[in-house]
Structure 1
Amino acid sequence: MVVPLQEAAQEYKEKLEACLKTLREEREKLLGRKTAEGKSQEYLKWTQAEKQKIVAEFQQLRQFLEEQEQQLLAQLEKLDEEIGRLQTDTVRKLSAQISHLSKWIGELEGTYQ
């Protein structure tokens, strides 16, 4: 059976249009995915930038805390030295007073004998 040319052309045109419709739908899906991928890339860039900011902020915080630690330790060292000096001075004064009192006691005991 021979199909007239116009009928055959119409049949192929319909098949071609169906294929084109399918291809266009697939293209739209892919464009949608491409847009989504673009947004994903933007989110990745944003998260990387946030990560860098957080790392930098914590580095500054660590540096600040380390400086504070060094300052406080230096202050404690000075305080230890001052306490040591005061303690030594107090012991020296007490020793002098004890020696002086011992001398007086000795003198007083000598007068009573």
Structure 2
Amino acid sequence: MNSNNKGKNGERELATILREYGYDSRRGQQYCGSNGDADVVGLPGVHIECKRVERLNIYDAIEQSKNDARDGENPVVMHRRNRKEWLVTMPLDDWMKMYGKALHDN
């Protein structure tokens, strides 16, 4: 499978998983090409950079997510290797803000 198809398949796979959690998720660029959306959309307040690769430069990926995120969106990278689980990587400061908000909301 070429890397372009692997990336698209990874985005579809991740969107499916997020829908199983109850979110209306889909590939961000599936309809009209590059439109400024994240790779996968449907999580309010989160800009998802999806990476489905064996070797990942996580700092480059998170920088891409930061650069592409709109105001009010937390940049995250959701990634996995073959036969491994999905992981989420984000800046610690953003994670602490989300964690603190979740604690206070409960």
TM-score (ref. length: structure 1): 0.19
Which structure is higher in strand share? 2
TM-score (ref. length: structure 2): 0.20
Which structure is higher in helix share? 1
Question: Higher Cα Rg: structure 1 or 2?
Answer: 1
